[in-house]
DNA sequence: AATGAATGAGCGTTCATTCAT
DNA sequence: AATGAATGAACGCTCATTCAT
């Protein structure tokens, strides 16, 4: 009763605890979306797993969709290229490093794709998300190309798509992406997709 | 004179028309599973899209699950390696040819994976399906390796996984897989993953 | 095409084989109604168990209801009192004999009662059926009463109801009604409900 | 902070209103099961008759089955022998009193039996329910037998079965069991099944 | 006359969302 | 602000009945 403004159900929370609840919901949702997928995750699940009641879920989010979209947006903003600095180590090692990042992304993307099938707005976001990741990869490929060594007869877009595809799926298969030997092999494969081998 | 509970659905159809209906249902199901995914495709959708009523769907299939499993099984049986004969053309061309096959597989696999989240039996089938495709690829890679030219420092399993991943996703994105330029590029990329470039 | 008369779906069959089919359907229906009950017996079950297709079922009967009603009617007409002749043996033996008759009745009655819950017309028939059985019993009790020995302070209607109730349930429990010791005991109990014991 | 799949229905209700709803549902279910039987009573019926929506039904009960089983269990626990104390009045009066109890039981039992045809678990409960009632009757008969006066040549099990049968059916026919004259007659009949008449 | 394929209303159940407290 | 009870559209599936062959 602190205000006369009814302020709609999804007002930005102004209180500390409220923010915590919101974060807890986001975190639970991310985890559940990743593991069970969008459609198999219920609003009640998310709320329960965050330790609140369903009603509270709808205090912070308009609907189930919104949580996912927000998670993705958040991810896109956060996850901009943490471009490594200093002289690159050898390419394989750089790629290996890349592969161990971003474990969460794949699952989320998959969830958005699921949602996109039902909701055109999500389809746009999914496309946007993919595009961003794509652009990040493309950027790096272009940098690498500028330094020479990249196959000159390749369309960098297609190349970025290929790398993205592999990285994406890798992150879905959690057993794979935790096996360093496998990861190293993949790094080598990807390196060869990109770089002309040394004489 | 049959006795207890003989009247389940799923009797083998005995009339010509029935076979047509069954095929229509399978075709509709394949298409819908591919485009909307398993969970978003309802039995009613499949029936409607095949031009029949829900009831007819259940005359031919025990449940929604069964259609998917049957589609996959069918695919697995059909899609055995159409191993090309004669002296291979150059690798890129061979791969390009591979990429234009099997359009349906990817979407189906994705549907099974969705189902697998809910039904352990489907999980087995999904695993089996992936394994078969994997083995087919592995076989070819081993053949190629025997002929030399394959990178000697690669784990062929990981290599097969990588190729599979790319081919799979390619088939999901129908616009991509119909663009011959793109496909040629991909063929080249894949070729470089596999083969040591000529002097 | 033997006649111009379309003659409706449920014409009395004029051909020998047709009659056999009809009888087979009735027999199957009786058995299934008895064992599974009305609601759990499907038209397809009945047809299959009679060795014909569903379509044929509906050639001979307007609907599922009709079969049951016909069975009951048939039973009521057939099962008129096979009044034993000659001097009654002792009461207990007479009753014992009664108990081993009419095994089918109970189950059918139960089926009609189930149907009666959904269809008022069946309710009437059920009532009628019970009334007939009741009357048969009452008749015999009155005969017995005329010969003396029946408790004079009993309302014969209530007495008939009691006997009917026990006989009815006995026939439902097939294990019971095949145990001669049990049956003899019951005969004794019923005898004592009815008759003043000898000095 | 609960984890996987905590959100099933059937949580114990935490609000006062919830308990009322649950009770209303149980009451409606009992009445409908009794009058229409298990199979003809739909979950929607029960909910509507309790003044709530279907969804609410499933908040409190896992499925339709559970309601019935709960009703029976509840009944069995409640209905333990209200063994009369003090010197029995004459047998007839005691029995008359017995007949006016437990009106609900019969219909419920019938519903369980219907369910038992489809669900073996219910079959067990039905058997258990009948056994309990049977045992209660048997107990009293044994007590009576200990006091003499019971026919010595009767199997008490069969006797209990007979009484149970009559009482059961009596309760199904609500018009009958509210007619005191009829009830007195029945009491007399039952008394004679059990007791050797006074010299 | 017979077959069995096709129909569709209806049931049991789930879950996103709203509402009373 | 939070809770959790209530809602009802929608899904998977069954089966009595009709219809084309």
Chain C nearest CA to B8, separation (Å): 9
Chain-chain contact of A49 with D3 (C-beta, under 8 angstroms): yes
Does residue D100 register a pLDDT over 80?
no
Find the range with the poorest average confidence among A36-45, A116-125, C4-13, C43-52: C4-13
Find the range with the poorest average confidence among A33-47, B146-160, C129-143, D37-51: C129-143
CB B18 within 8 A of CB B32: no
* Interacting residues of B160 by C-beta distance below 8 A, sequence separation 6+: B134, B137, B138, B141
Put simply, whether B158 touches A (Cβ < 8 Å) is yes
CB B25 within 8 A of CB B55: no
Q: How far apart are CA B102 and CA B9, in angstroms?
A: 31
Burial of A125 (0-12, 13-18, 19+ CB in 10 A): buried
CB A38 within 8 A of CB A111: yes
Residues C139-160: tens digit of each pLDDT = 888 888 888 789 999 999 999 9
Q: Closest CB to D117: pick one of C37, C158, C182.
A: C37
End-to-end C-alpha distance for chain C, whole angstroms: 75
**Does any strand E atom come closer than 7 Å to the Cβ of A42?**
yes
Q: How confident is the model at residue B100 (pLDDT cuts 50, 70, 90)?
A: confident
Q: Fill in the DSSP letter of residue A150.
A: B
**Does any strand E atom come closer than 7 Å to the Cβ of B15?**
yes
Does residue A126 register a pLDDT over 90?
no
For each of the domains in chain C, give its residue range(s) and CATH number, in order of start. 1-62 (1.10.10.60), 65-194 (1.10.357.10)
Does residue D2 register a pLDDT over 50?
no
Q: How far apart are CA A169 and CA B167, in angstroms?
A: 12
CB D145 within 8 A of CB D156: yes
Residues C57-67: tens digit of each pLDDT = 999 999 999 99
Looking at residue D6, its pLDDT comes to 41
Find the range with the poorest average confidence among A9-23, B184-198, C62-76: A9-23
Asked whether at least 3 C-beta pairs link D and C within 8 Å, the reply is yes
Does residue C174 register a pLDDT over 60?
yes
Chain-chain contact of D186 with C40 (C-beta, under 8 angstroms): no
Put simply, whether D5 touches A (Cβ < 8 Å) is yes
Find the range with the poorest average confidence among A89-103, B58-72, C159-173, D26-40: A89-103
End-to-end C-alpha distance for chain D, whole angstroms: 76
| Distance F14 C1' – D52 CA (angstroms) | 26
Find the range with the poorest average confidence among A126-140, B61-75, C54-68, D144-158: A126-140
Strand E nucleotides within 7 Å of a protein CB: 1-21
Burial of A150 (0-12, 13-18, 19+ CB in 10 A): buried
Per-chain mean pLDDT for chain B: 82
Q: Which residue has the higher pLDDT, C192 or D95?
A: C192
Does residue B86 register a pLDDT over 80?
no
Q: Which of A47-51, B139-143, B166-170, D114-118 has the highest mean pLDDT?
A: A47-51
pTM of full prediction above 0.85: no
Mutate to test the interface with B, among C24, C49, C55 (most CBs of B within 10 A): C49
Q: Closest CB to A182: pick one of B39, B158, B182.
A: B158
A195: three-class secondary structure by DSSP: strand
Does residue D142 register a pLDDT over 80?
yes
Put simply, whether B3 touches C (Cβ < 8 Å) is yes
Per-chain mean pLDDT for chain A: 82
For the beta carbon of residue C142, count every other beta carbon within 10 angstroms.
13
**Does any strand E atom come closer than 7 Å to the Cβ of B27?**
no
Q: Which of B2-11, B28-37, D74-83 has the highest mean pLDDT?
A: B28-37
For the beta carbon of residue B199, count every other beta carbon within 10 angstroms.
3
Looking at residue C116, its pLDDT comes to 81
Nucleotide nearest to D65 (CA to C1'): E12
Q: Which of A7-11, A83-87, B145-149, D188-192 has the highest mean pLDDT?
A: D188-192
Chain-chain contact of A51 with D5 (C-beta, under 8 angstroms): no
| Residue (of C103, C97, C75) closest to C84 by Cα position | C97
Segment D16-22 shows an average pLDDT of 86
Looking at residue A100, its pLDDT comes to 75
Burial of B176 (0-12, 13-18, 19+ CB in 10 A): middle
- Bridge partners (DSSP) listed for residue B150: B195
Chain-chain contact of D2 with A51 (C-beta, under 8 angstroms): yes
Mark which residues 37-56 of A lie under 8 Å from D by CB.
42, 44-45, 48-49, 51
Chain A nearest CA to B183, separation (Å): 9
CB B154 within 8 A of CB B170: no
Looking at residue D8, its pLDDT comes to 45
Q: How confident is the model at residue B88 (pLDDT cuts 50, 70, 90)?
A: low
Q: State the nearest residue by CA to the C1' of F10.
A: B42
Chain-chain contact of A117 with B37 (C-beta, under 8 angstroms): yes
Looking at residue D177, its pLDDT comes to 67
CB B119 within 8 A of CB B193: no
Q: Closest CB to A51: pick one of D1, D5, D7.
A: D1
**Does any strand F atom come closer than 7 Å to the Cβ of C32?**
no
Chain-chain contact of B185 with A117 (C-beta, under 8 angstroms): no
Q: State the nearest residue by CA to the C1' of F11.
A: B42
Q: Closest CB to D37: pick one of C114, C162, C165.
A: C114
* Interacting residues of A61 by C-beta distance below 8 A, sequence separation 6+: A10, A25, A67, A70
Find the range with the poorest average confidence among A156-165, B28-37, D91-100: D91-100
Chain B nearest CA to C48, separation (Å): 6
Between A and B, how many residue pairs show a Cβ–Cβ distance under 8 A? 69
For the four alpha carbons of D24, D26, D32 and D38, in that order, the dihedral sign comes to positive
Chain-chain contact of B7 with C51 (C-beta, under 8 angstroms): no
User: How would you classify residue B86: left for phi > 0, otherwise alpha for psi between -120 and 50, otherwise beta?
Assistant: left
Chain-chain contact of B7 with C45 (C-beta, under 8 angstroms): yes
* Interacting residues of C133 by C-beta distance below 8 A, sequence separation 6+: C105, C109, C164
* One-letter-per-residue 3-state SS of chain B: CCCCCCCCCCCCCCCHHHHHHHHHHHHHHHHHHHHHCCCCCCHHHHHHHCCCCHHHHHHHCCCHHHHHHHHHHHHHHHCCCCCCCCCCCCHHHHHHHHHHCCCCHHHHHHHHHHHHHHCHHHHHHHHHHHHHHHHHHHHHHHHHHHCCCECCCCCHHHHHHHHHHHHHHHHHCHHHHCCHHHHHHHHHHHHHHHECCCC
Put simply, whether B14 touches C (Cβ < 8 Å) is no
Does residue D106 register a pLDDT over 90?
no
Buried b (16+ CB within 10 A) or exposed e, D127-140: eebbebbeebbbeb
Q: State the nearest residue by CA to the C1' of F15.
A: C42
Find the range with the poorest average confidence among A138-142, B131-135, C8-12, D34-38: C8-12
* One-letter-per-residue 3-state SS of chain D: CCCCCCCCCCCCCCCHHHHHHHHHHHHHHHHHHHHHCCCCCCHHHHHHHCCCCHHHHHHHCCCHHHHHHHHHHHHHHHCCCCCCCCCCCCHHHHHHHHHHCCCCHHHHHHHHHHHHHHCHHHHHHHHHHHHHHHHHHHHHHHHHHHCCCECCCCCHHHHHHHHHHHHHHHHHCHHHHCCHHHHHHHHHHHHHHHECCCC
From chain D, pick out residues whose CB is under 8 angstroms from the CB of A20: none
Nucleotide nearest to A53 (CA to C1'): F3
Percent of chain B past pLDDT 90, that is, above it, reads: 35
Does residue B55 register a pLDDT over 70?
yes
Q: How far apart are CA C29 and CA C41, in angstroms?
A: 8
Segment A9-21 shows an average pLDDT of 71
Q: How far apart are CA C22 and CA C28, in angstroms?
A: 10
C150: three-class secondary structure by DSSP: strand
**How many angstroms separate the Cα of B13 from the Cα of each of B5, B18, B21, B23, B45?**
18, 6, 10, 11, 22
**How many angstroms separate the Cα of A170 from the Cα of each of A92, A103, A174, A187, C57?**
16, 9, 7, 11, 59
Q: Closest CB to D37: pick one of C117, C165, C192.
A: C117
**Does any strand E atom come closer than 7 Å to the Cβ of B17?**
yes
Percent of chain D past pLDDT 70, that is, above it, reads: 81
Q: How far apart are CA C186 and CA C188, in angstroms?
A: 5
| Distance F12 C1' – B24 CA (angstroms) | 20
Q: How confident is the model at residue D109 (pLDDT cuts 50, 70, 90)?
A: confident
Strand F nucleotides within 7 Å of a protein CB: 1-21
**Does any strand F atom come closer than 7 Å to the Cβ of C36?**
no
Chain D nearest CA to C61, separation (Å): 23
**Does any strand F atom come closer than 7 Å to the Cβ of A14?**
yes
- Counts for chain A of helices (H) and strands (E), in that order: 10, 0
Q: Closest CB to B158: pick one of A39, A114, A189.
A: A189
**Does any strand F atom come closer than 7 Å to the Cβ of D54?**
yes
Put simply, whether B182 touches A (Cβ < 8 Å) is yes
Segment D162-183 shows an average pLDDT of 81
**Which phi and psi angles does C150 have, rounded to 5°?**
-80, 145
Chain-chain contact of D185 with C155 (C-beta, under 8 angstroms): yes
Chain A window 21-60, residues with Cβ within 7 A of nucleic strand F: 21, 52-56, 58-59
| Distance E1 C1' – C18 CA (angstroms) | 9
Does residue D50 register a pLDDT over 90?
yes
| Distance E18 C1' – D189 CA (angstroms) | 60
Q: How confident is the model at residue D5 (pLDDT cuts 50, 70, 90)?
A: very low
| Distance F16 C1' – C64 CA (angstroms) | 8
């Amino acid at each position: 009763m602190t205000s006369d403004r009814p302020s709609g159900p999804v007002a930005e929370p102004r209180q500390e605890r409220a923010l915590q609840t919101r974060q807890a919901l986001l975190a639970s949702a991310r985890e559940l979306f990743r593991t069970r997928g969008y459609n198999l995750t219920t609003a009640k699940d998310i709320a329960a797993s965050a330790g609140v009641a369903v009603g509270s879920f709808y205090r912070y989010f308009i609907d189930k969709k919104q949580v996912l979209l927000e998670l993705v947006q958040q991810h896109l903003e956060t996850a901009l290229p943490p471009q490594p600095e200093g002289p690159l180590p050898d390419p394989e090692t750089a790629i290996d490093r890349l592969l161990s990042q971003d474990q969460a992304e794949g699952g989320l993307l998959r969830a958005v794709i699921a949602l996109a099938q039902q909701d055109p707005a999500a389809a746009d976001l999914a496309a946007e998300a993919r595009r961003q990741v794509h652009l990040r990869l493309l950027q790096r490929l272009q940098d690498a190309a500028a330094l020479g060594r990249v196959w000159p007869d390749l369309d960098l877009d297609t190349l970025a798509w290929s790398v993205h595809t592999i990285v994406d799926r890798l992150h879905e298969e959690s057993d794979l992406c935790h096996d360093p030997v496998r990861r190293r092999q993949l790094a080598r494969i990807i390196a060869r997709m990109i770089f002309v081998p040394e004489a």
